[in-house]
């Protein structure tokens, strides 16, 4: 199959779930082209980007200048130099009566430049609902051809809907060929917004379990216990509540270490909180790390915390890959009843679930795990087993290929692919 991925920016180090799908499809003999914008930080690439030479088939749209005069002048140059390739497509991209602000701001024109003269694709896979709306327009004006599949992953079905209204995907639900959600929580939200329930299934974000070696966790002889959280330093990751919980537990168990892996807008705020709580010796912001560095850190951790919260702007998480990775490595986890996370963490089996924004609840479960280390091995094994069964990237990529094939044959409503149907093989 020939497949086009419509993304925002590529490659982005935090979006390994997209990278895993691309490399999985290539390994299965399919041709993948990637359309989007250049990332802000071009120094931080996942090694698979180079290994599979992905930039060779990545096509970037020209940057859209903030200055309106420069944007217009650049647009005129783009029209002059590209008009011969697809004159009707370029003219349609400027239709302000149909596309309003998107056309008037020249966003459509800039976005379609790398699509001009492309061949027809079997599948156009838009990653995130926002790119689904874009893919719908690109196909509508004739810039690209193929069956349109859109995946909803988190902020696109939470914050974006709150920001732009519940009708933001109305046309996409009508014109799109099929939809995926990375958890049942977001699938139900899409259905509530108007998506035909027969046109959307859950297709989770997978990890390569072979890269994450399982190890039974045991307390150290000196009683030292290491805890970790991995995630961007933004509100919805709830890291503040992890810090407050650990600070509380440190009063009883001073031989703790809490490592927070990631970077983001709240770095200074969280560092100040650590200082105010007097735990700077035990709680460390380690900054951004590549995957191998993260694996090395997590391999020496005893307990993993994922304190995600619903942000004030409505942004929510699906079952996050960093949590899956920690579970695959045998860590008992503490997570929140948030978004799609309860679909990943089995309360009392692979870890504990607590309410959002409740540092006391996190502290209580953390204390319980510290006092009952005999639970670590059992929970770690349960987590590994669950991740292997439901989130292994190889199984999920096989499922994705079958979804594509059935969409091409218009056969999904008659014989839908589900995770259950794949397990029967």
Q: Helical H runs in 223-287?
A: 239-250, 267-276
pLDDT confidence of residue 417: 54
In the predicted structure, residue 240 carries a pLDDT above the cut 60? yes
If one compares 220 and 187, the residue with the highest pLDDT of the two is 187
DSSP string, 75-136: HHHHHHHHTTT-HHHHHHHT-HHHHHHHHHTTHHHHHHGGGTTPPP-SEEEEESHHHHHHHH
pLDDT in tens, 341-396: 999 999 999 999 999 999 999 999 999 999 999 999 999 999 999 999 999 999 99
Q: What is the mean pLDDT of residues 91-117?
A: 95
- For domain 2-206+394-420, the CATH superfamily is Glycogen Phosphorylase B; (3.40.50.2000)
Tokens 């599979």 sit at which residue? 52
Euclidean distance between CA atoms 7 and 18, whole angstroms: 9
Provide mean pLDDT across the span 405-412: 83
Residues 6 or more apart whose Cβ sits within 8 Å of residue 47: 290, 291
Compute the distance between CA of residue 350 and CA of residue 308 in angstroms, rounded to an integer.
17
Residues facing 147 on adjacent strands? 123
- pLDDT of res. 16: 85
Average pLDDT, the chain: 93
DSSP string for residues in 334-365? EEES-TTGGGTS-BTTTEEEE-TT-HHHHHHH
Q: What is the pLDDT of residue 412?
A: 54
pLDDT at position 12? 86
Residue range 100-126: average pLDDT?
Answer: 94
Q: Would you state the structure tokens that stand for residue 62, as one six-digit string?
A: 């020209």
Residue 337 has pLDDT above 60, yes or no: yes
Spatial CB neighbours of 313, under 8 Å, sequence gap ≥ 6: 159, 162, 163
pLDDT for the residue numbered 255: 93
Q: What pLDDT does residue 53 have?
A: 93
Picking from 172, 188, 195, the residue whose alpha carbon sits closest to that of residue 318 is 188
**What is d(CA 182, CA 202) in angstroms, rounded to the nearest whole number?**
6
Cite the DSSP H helix spans in 193-257: 239-250
Task: Give the Cα separation of 44 and 226 in Å (integer).
Answer: 27
> Which of 297, 295, 289, 287 shows the shortest CA–CA distance to 266?
287
Task: Identify the three-state secondary structure at position 385.
Answer: helix
Give CATH superfamily name and number for 209-389. Answer: Glycogen Phosphorylase B; (3.40.50.2000)
Residue the block writes with tokens 């698979």:
48
Can you read off the two tokens belonging to residue 367? 């204390």
Rounded Cα distance between 219 and 305, Å, is: 17
Q: In this predicted structure, which of 79-93, 298-312, 355-369, 399-413 has the lowest mean pLDDT?
A: 399-413
Give the model's pLDDT for residue 113: 96
pLDDT at residue 49 tops 80: yes
For tokens 């993304």, name the residue: 7
pLDDT at 46 over 90: no
CA distances from 254 to 39, 217, 248 (A): 42, 20, 10
62 secondary structure, DSSP code: P
Query: Which residues are 229's β-sheet partners?
Result: 260
Stretch(es) of the chain classified as CATH 3.40.50.2000: 2-206+394-420, 209-389
Q: How confident is the model at residue 416 (pLDDT cuts 50, 70, 90)?
A: low
Question: CA 86 to CA 141: how far, in whole Å?
Answer: 11
For residue 42, what pLDDT is reported?
65
**CB of 156 within 8 A of CB of 16?**
no
pLDDT of 414 over the 50 cut: no
Average pLDDT on 72-78 reads 97
Q: pLDDT tens-digit profile of 340-355?
A: 999 999 999 999 999 9
pLDDT value at residue 421: 47
Q: Cα–Cα distances in Å, from 240 out to 66, 243, 266, 282?
A: 34, 5, 9, 15
β-bridge partners, 148: 124
Residue 420 in this model has a pLDDT that exceeds 80? no
What residues have CB less than 8 Å from 294, skipping those under 6 apart?
A: 230, 261, 322, 325
User: What is the number of H-type helices and E-type strands within the chain?
Assistant: 18, 13
Q: Is it the case that residue 425 has pLDDT exceeding 60?
A: no
Q: In the structure, what pLDDT confidence band is assigned to residue 424 with cuts at 50, 70 and 90?
A: very low
Between the alpha carbon of residue 68 and those of residues 105, 254, 366, the distances in Å are 9, 57, 53
In this model, does residue 141 exceed pLDDT 50?
A: yes
The secondary structure of 159-199 as a DSSP string is HHHHHH-TTTTHHHHHH-SEEEESSHHHHHHHHHTT--GGG
């Amino acid at each position: 199959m020939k497949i086009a991925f419509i993304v925002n920016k590529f490659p982005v180090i935090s979006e390994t779930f997209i990278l895993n799908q691309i490399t999985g499809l290539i390994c299965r003999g399919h041709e993948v082209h990637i359309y989007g914008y250049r990332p802000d930080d071009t120094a931080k690439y996942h090694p698979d980007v180079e290994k599979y030479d992905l930039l060779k088939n990545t096509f970037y749209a020209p940057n859209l200048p903030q200055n309106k005069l420069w944007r217009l002048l650049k647009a005129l140059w783009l029209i002059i130099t590209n008009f011969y390739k697809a004159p009707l497509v370029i003219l349609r991209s400027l239709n302000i009566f149909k596309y309003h602000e998107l056309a008037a701001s020249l966003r459509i024109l800039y976005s379609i430049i790398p699509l001009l003269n492309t061949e027809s694709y079997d599948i156009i896979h838009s990653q995130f609902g926002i790119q689904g709306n874009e893919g719908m327009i690109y196909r509508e004006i004739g810039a690209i051809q193929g069956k349109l599949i859109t995946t909803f992953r988190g902020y696109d079905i939470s914050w974006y809907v709150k920001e732009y209204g519940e009708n933001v995907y109305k046309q996409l639900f009508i014109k799109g060929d099929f939809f995926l959600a990375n958890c049942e929580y977001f699938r139900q939200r899409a259905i509530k917004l108007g998506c035909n329930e027969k046109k959307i299934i859950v297709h989770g974000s997978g990890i390569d379990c072979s890269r994450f070696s399982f190890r039974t966790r045991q307390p150290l002889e000196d009683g030292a216990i290491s805890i970790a959280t991995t995630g961007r330093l933004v509100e919805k990751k709830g890291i503040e509540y992890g810090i407050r919980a650990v600070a509380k537990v440190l009063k009883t168990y001073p031989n703790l270490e809490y490592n927070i892996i990631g970077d983001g807008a709240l770095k200074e705020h969280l560092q100040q909180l650590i200082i105010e709580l007097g735990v700077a010796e035990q709680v460390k912001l380690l900054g951004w790390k590549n995957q191998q560095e993260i694996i090395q850190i997590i391999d020496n951790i005893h307990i993993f915390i994922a304190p995600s919260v619903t942000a004030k702007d409505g942004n929510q998480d699906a079952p996050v890959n960093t949590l899956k990775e920690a579970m695959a490595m045998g860590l008992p986890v503490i997570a929140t009843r948030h978004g799609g996370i309860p679909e990943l963490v089995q309360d009392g089996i692979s870890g504990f679930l607590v309410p959002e924004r409740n540092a006391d609840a996190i502290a209580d479960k953390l204390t319980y795990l510290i006092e009952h280390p005999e639970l670590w091995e059992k929970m770690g094994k349960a987590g590994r087993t669950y991740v292997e069964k439901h989130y292994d990237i190889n199984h999920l990529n096989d499922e994705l290929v079958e979804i594509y094939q059935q969409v091409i044959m218009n056969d999904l409503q008659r014989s839908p692919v589900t995770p259950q149907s794949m397990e029967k093989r």
